Structure 1
Amino acid sequence: MERGSPGASRPVEPGPCLSSLRGAEPAASASTLSAARAQPGSRVIAVAAVLPAGGCGERMGVPTPKQFCPILERPLISYTLQALERVYWIKDIVVAVTRENMGAMRNIIQKYQHTRISLVEAGETRHRSIFNGLKALAKDQPDTQLSKPEVVIIHDAVRPFVEEDVLLKVVAAAKEHGAAGAIRPLVSTVISPSADGCLEISLERARHRASEMPQAFLFDVIYEAYRQCSDYDLEFGTECLHLALKYSHTKAKLVEGPPDLWKVTYKRDLYAAESIIKERISHAVCVVMDPKQDKEPVDHFLEALKNELNDVKIESREPGQAGRDIQQSNLEQCYNFVSMNIMMSDFQETRKLLHMLEESNLSILYPVVVVSVHFFDFKLVPLSQKMESLMWIRESAKEMKKRNILLFGLIIDYSQGEQKLQESLRQGAIIIASLIKERSSALVGQLLVA
């Protein structure tokens, strides 16, 4: 068992524990537990998580195990780790990976600056991998730096969209009942076929539920269950809640989970996960411009942009202010920037913005989109005379792409009549909205004309 290297900097500092509430409802909110933690004499409970990540991804039909498949050029498991790291009261996260993937996992931890991660060697089956993770937390393995938690969360490495709310609910329920797990309504009816392939039993869908992750247990309950279970259970079993019931005689509390607990299983699920991630990081746009520039075209352009990006927060920032925001931002970061250059071809504002982004860690986890918008009066200076300086975007984009910053250029003719200018502004807004939503690396460095 080895401890992962801590990252250089992360937006949220880890916390060691969760407040314990006497008589707390499983659905207790984060604010309720935070308030209890602040009360004098309130007891805290230590929480850890175990992620089995030793699967080979047979059902996905790709050579790379699904937990290491890239989404926006970042391994799927990294998103799951990030989701757990956001929850500061999870003290330790133990990941079980195969020996051949141990090096790759270490690289992921280092590259994406994951913290609180410990690695153990996965077993041949899912249950054996989980058992190895529990052994590490129980100090049953040599050289462990971990301490035994009171509650342990078991979660799949390929369920990247788990939120703190559902984690909190299963932990609170496990503290009260000994075991808890998230469930979801069945989408399809479950049937049992006979030996000759004919229908034998059809279950009433309304009375049954699909067992999902995360699940949580009092550590002693689930650890003792694994210590007692048979080789058959370890080899062919999949349901941790069943082991707690069978060997520790603990009935799990079932917690209704949200729709986004689904598991990445098939190749099409990778595209669905990418779509969700793109949508989540496209909900804020920061517009950067020098306050000395003419704001009239910018105001019209922002109105057009708001019409294209419904329910998107658009904020205008001066370069220095944008830099401070980048340095001080935490989990609610903006990954989309529009740099306004009015009647200028030296990219002054864009250069400042790119320099700030390079110095920050913003692009480590997600690709950052930067659109450099240029308003030119083509009646005064023909576009052909501007092209030489505008080619700077292409060269800079190559370097920025190495840092996961996607740079694009957009040109708008400011010398047009009012009606044509409004149409160009609308077209420009459509182009920017598309660049932000799609995040296509194929168009990086392109000079687009609205």
Structure 2
Amino acid sequence: MELGPPGGAGPAEPGPRLRGLRGDDRAASAAWLSEASAGRRAPSVAAVLPAGGSGERMGVPTPKQFCPVLERPLISYTLQALERVCWIKDIVVAVTGENMEVMKGIVQRYQHKRISLVEAGVTRHRSIFNGLKALAEDQPNSKLCRPEVVIIHDAVRPFVEEDVLLKVAIAAKEHGAAGAIRPLVSTVISPSADGCLDHSLERASHRASEMPQAFLFDVIYEAYQQCSDYDLEFGTECLQLALKYCHTKAKLVEGSPDLWKVTYKRDLYAAESIIKERISQQICILMDAKEDEEHVGRCLEEMLKKELNHVKVTSGALCHAGRDLQQIILEQCYNFVCVNVMTSDFEETRKLLNALEESNLSILYPVVVISVHFLDYKLVPFGQKMEHLMQIKEFAKEVKKRNILLCGLLIYYPQDEQKLQESLRQGATIIATLIKERSFGLVGQLMVA
């Protein structure tokens, strides 16, 4: 069952293509990418994701691959990580029959591409085998092409980068099989029948097998065709099947620390924290006044740069938001500060919100918009000012449905220099917190610095 036309996904966070590669690896990877982008000699590559698990260790009724992280199912992040790799032509996801409609909804809602669904088996190995069968064109009416190399990856390892996928794919092309490994964190021990220590393994001599793994398709498909029912029921290691049945010794590739697998409930919070950190590294400031160095909005921009020296802060004019926003989207910015100096209403903020809604930027991640208002408290009574600004609740309620998190920030102006600097510093702290936390509970709130 194929879902989505060929081509790239919607907005997706960029990933370093050759990060961590050196020497011959970098040269081989560059050649592979060059051939793949030109549609020439690079081998065809597909991916299989077993996603039929029940998540018993998670301790929640929802299978972990469908648990929400920032209101979005975990498996969607993994699909995104694979989709942004242009040389992976097909992605086959094995899900249980009862979750088939759920999975279809995820693919459609988050605009995933190049996805085909097959029914999962009762075990991990049977699910993978079903995915391989679909790629082998053993299924009726299948439009999938038999690949030269197939990558097998877990649906609950969302942070895999292209460089690791590339390394295992190249190694599999050369050796027939390859898998990512990591150093053991804890020593492995073997207990005796009476529950006492029998022996322990020397940690420095062993490694943890991780995902992704990659194979020449004919190797792993033959291995699954030959393996026993016992292997299919109780086995967990694909590399072992290739060795046992095809005498193919896998090349082991050092993986990165972010290959960890979401297994327990606490891992969901860790995943959320990582995602928030990744999408909080850029802030775009849009202003409603002419660009000049004396503009009070510029003072806020400089304060943000000073207080958040690890975050990229860019700026532009609100009057050009429609034109500039396309470039901002390409840069994958999910944080906007809309500075209103010339007006106390939300006209300019509304323009930004409309542009964001049209862009579909918020499909994959929640976009934070902070509407900042510099108001002269000497000219407008406080009560009238606050009543006007409380419109933010209605705006926020509406755009929240489209995954845009709108908050307001009021800074009194003018003030003496010392007080203004302190207000700007407080404002920068509030902005940084709203962006980092991305709290749905704070949507529509008006804060004062």
TM-score range normalised by the length of the shorter chain: over 0.9
Counterparts of 2:125 and 2:373 in 1: how far apart (Å)? 58
Q: Is the 8 A contact 1:9 1:113 kept in 2?
A: no
Deviation at 1:33, TM superposition (A): 2.7
SS of the counterpart of 1:56? coil
The Cα offsets for residues 111-151 of structure 1, whole Å up to 9 and x where unpaired, read as: 00000000000000000000000000001111211010000
Residues 11 and 330, structure 1, Cα contact 8 Å, conserved in 2:
no
2: CA distance between counterparts of 1:138 and 1:12?
Answer: 31
Render the CA deviation track for 1:356-390: whole Å, top value 9, x for unaligned: 00111100000000000000110121221112221
Using the TM superposition, name which of 154-163 and 136-145 deviates more: 136-145
Cα deviation 1:68-91 (Å, max 9, x = unaligned): 000000000000000000001000
- Once residues 116 and 37 of structure 2 are traced to their aligned partners in structure 1, the CA distance between those partners, rounded to angstroms, is 29
TM-score, structure 2 as length reference: 0.94
Tell me the TM-score normalised to structure 1 length: 0.93
Cα gap change, 1:165 to 1:322, in 2 (>3 Å): farther
Asked if the contact 2:371/2:409 (under 8 Å) is kept, the reply is: yes
Kindly tell me the number of residue pairs found equivalent between the two proteins: 438
Q: Distance in 2 between matches of 1:303 and 1:242?
A: 57
**Cα–Cα, structure 1 residues 238 and 368, in superposed 2: closer, same or farther, change >3 Å?**
same
Q: Which residue number corresponds to residue 164 of structure 1? A: 162
Query: Which residue number corresponds to residue 351 of structure 1?
Result: 350
Q: Aligned to 2:240, which of 233, 239, 242?
A: 242
Contact 2:179 2:214 (8 Å CA) reproduced: yes
Report the residue type matching 2:422 in the other structure. Answer: E
Q: Residue in 1 aligned with 2:16?
A: none
Q: Contact conserved, 2:8 with 2:84, CA < 8 A, in 1?
A: no
Query: Gapped runs of 5+ residues in structure 2?
Result: 13-22
Match of 2:65 among 52, 64, 67: 67
* CA contact 2:168–2:253 (8 Å) conserved in 1: yes
Q: Partner residue of 2:415?
A: 416
CA-CA distance at 1:344 after TM superposition: 1.5
1:198 to 185, 196, 199: 196
**Counterpart Cα distance in 2 of 1:361 and 1:123:** 35
Q: Read off the aligned partner of 1:351 and give its amino acid letter.
A: R
C-alpha distance in 2 between matches for 1:269 and 1:38? 36
Q: In structure 2, what is the equivalent of residue 97 of structure 1? A: 95
For residues 299 and 246 of structure 1, the distance between their equivalents in structure 2, rounded to whole angstroms, comes to 66
Instruction: Indicate if the aligned counterparts of 1:287 and 1:339 stay in contact, CA closer than 8 A.
Output: yes
d(CA) in 2 for partners of 1:83, 1:433: 27
Q: Go from structure 1 to structure 2 and tell me whether the alpha carbon gap of 1:330 and 1:386 turns closer, same or farther (over 3 Å shift).
A: closer
Aligned CA distance change for structure 1 residues 89 and 208 (closer, same or farther; 3 Å): same
Distance in 2 (alpha carbons) for counterparts of 1:441 and 1:321: 29
Q: Matched residues in 1 for 2:357 and 2:81: separation?
A: 24
Name the residue aligned to 1:77: 75
Quote how far apart the aligned CAs of 1:318 are.
Answer: 1.5
Q: Is the 8 A contact 1:7 1:112 kept in 2?
A: no
Specify the alignment match of 1:399 in structure 2.
398
Q: What's the CA shift for 1:343?
A: 4.2
Aligned to 1:17: none
Q: Are the structure 2 counterparts of residues 132 and 330 from structure 1 closer, same or farther at C-alpha, using a change threshold of 3 Å?
A: farther
Show the counterpart of 1:367.
366
RMSD: 2.0
Q: Is the 8 Å Cα contact of residues 28 and 168 (structure 1) preserved in structure 2?
A: no
What is the deviation of 1:223?
Answer: 0.1
Counterpart-to-counterpart distance in 2, 1:30 and 1:47: 14
Cα drift, residue 7 of structure 1: 9.1
Tell me the equivalent position of 1:209.
207
Query: Any runs of at least 4 consecutive aligned residues in structure 1 with deviations exceeding 6 A, and if so which?
Result: none
Deviations 1:148-199 (A, max 9, x none): 0000000000000000000000000000000000000000000101111111
- 2:423 and 2:133 map into 1 onto residues whose CA distance is 63
Question: What residue ranges of structure 1 are gaps of 5+ in the alignment?
Answer: 14-23
Q: Percent identity?
A: 74
Counterpart contact for 1:343–1:377, Cα < 8 Å: no
1:18 corresponds in structure 2 to none
Deviations 1:231-259 (A, max 9, x none): 00000000000000000100000000000
- 1:297 matched to which residue of 2? 296
Q: CA deviation at 1:346?
A: 2.0
Does 2:315 align with 1:316? Answer: yes
Q: Does structure 1 conserve the Cα–Cα contact (< 8 Å) formed by 2:372 and 2:408?
A: yes
Alignment match of 2:278 (pick from 262, 277, 280): 280
Letter in 2 for 1:203: L
Q: In 2, Cα distance between the equivalents of 1:183 and 1:177?
A: 16
Amino acid at match of 1:447: L
Which letter maps to 2:391? W
